[in-house]
């Protein structure tokens, strides 16, 4: 048999072993880390339900607006994406304010760092587009250039909610101690 | 309604909310919510808390007023 085939087979076996080993390890640690407790699961369920409703209402309202005015407020891709962002922000903030955003023993600092990186990346993208001459508003309508800016604002709102909740958590912990 | 019995039992064992939460596998905020009366835990969590604190379900989660109502 060709050596190449054996090497491919060996790589496949190693990959399968690695996946099984990692998944076993995750199962062992999942009892303590990275899982949500029953209260958090209930809140997250509510958050998904309400964020879905918020998105549906947004899309319906926008569809009605377009059908009556025959004109949107901005580029279609931006307006569609705004609905998704609205749902994401609503769901995240709902969970954050009810202490159901972070799983048990999950690091607060890691999430904040990720959020900051995301905001920074979106802002860099936005300002680069603007530097290349892209307009945010053209003929009285928002353009797709606003997409990274809207994402930066969305993640900014999530960051503020995280920091506010963290402040109150620290206060609670001090009072409890 | 606040669950002062749970808070007292936890304090008598010299456990913080964080420590109790870690032992029963929930977040600190969940223990806090139960003590404040903001969340009604499932029977599974109630049993886990009772076992950890060495108390019965009656001792930690039974309302005295309800007991009187039943006896009437």
- pLDDT exceeds 60 at position A5: yes
Distance (Å) of CA B40 to CA A78, A92, B1, B22:
42, 23, 10, 19
Selected for mutation to probe chain A from B15, B18, B27 (highest A CB count within 10 Å) is B27
Matching residue, tokens 């903001």:
B38
The pLDDT score that the predictor gives to residue A6 is 81
Select the more confidently predicted residue: A27 or A57: A57
- A172 CB neighbours in chain B (<8 A) are 32
At B72 the pLDDT is 53
Interface touch B41/A39, C-beta < 8 Å: yes
**Closest Cα to residue B32, out of B43, B48, B16?**
B16
Q: For the domain made up of B4-62, give the CATH fold.
A: 434 Repressor (Amino-terminal Domain) (1.10.260)
> In chain A, which residues have their Cβ closer than 8 Å to the Cβ of B22?
32, 105
Which residues in A have their CB inside 8 Å of a CB on B?
31-32, 37-40, 99, 102, 104-105, 169, 172-173, 176-177
Higher pLDDT, B61 or A34: B61
Continuous H helices in chain B: 4-12, 17-24, 28-36, 43-53, 57-61, 64-71
In this predicted model, what pLDDT tens digit does every residue of A80-126 receive, in sequence order? 999 999 999 999 999 999 999 988 888 889 999 999 999 999 999 99
- What are the residue boundaries of the structural domains of chain B, listed by start? 4-62
pTM: 0.78
What pLDDT, on the 0 to 100 scale, is given for residue A142? Answer: 86
Whole-angstrom distance, CA of residue B47 vs CA of residue B56 = 8
Question: 3-state DSSP call for residue A142?
Answer: strand
Per DSSP (E only), the strands in chain A are 137-138, 141-142
């Amino acid at each position: 048999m060709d050596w190449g085939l054996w090497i491919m087979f060996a790589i496949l076996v190693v990959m399968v072993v690695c996946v099984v080993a990692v998944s076993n390890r995750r199962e062992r640690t999942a009892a303590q880390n990275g899982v949500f407790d029953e209260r958090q699961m209930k809140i997250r369920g509510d958050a998904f339900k309400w964020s879905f409703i918020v998105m549906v209402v947004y899309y319906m309202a926008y569809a009605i607006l377009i059908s009556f005015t025959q004109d949107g407020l901005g580029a279609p891709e931006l307006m569609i994406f705004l609905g998704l962002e609205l749902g994401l922000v609503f769901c995240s903030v709902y969970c954050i304010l009810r202490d159901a955003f972070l799983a048990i023993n999950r690091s607060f600092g890691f999430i904040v760092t990720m959020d900051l990186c995301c905001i920074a990346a979106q802002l860099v993208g936005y300002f680069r587009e603007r530097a290349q001459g892209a307009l945010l508003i053209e003929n009285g309508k928002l353009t797709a250039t606003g997409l990274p800016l809207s994402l930066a604002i969305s993640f900014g709102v999530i960051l503020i909610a995280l920091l506010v909740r963290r402040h109150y958590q620290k206060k609670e912990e001090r009072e409890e101690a | 309604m606040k669950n002062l019995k749970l808070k007292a039992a936890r304090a008598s064992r010299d456990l913080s909310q964080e420590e109790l939460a870690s032992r029963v596998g929930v977040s600190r905020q969940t223990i806090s919510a139960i003590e404040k009366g903001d969340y009604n835990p499932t029977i599974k969590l109630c049993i886990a808390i009772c076992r950890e604190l060495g108390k019965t379900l009656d001792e930690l989660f039974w309302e005295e007023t309800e007991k009187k109502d039943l006896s009437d």
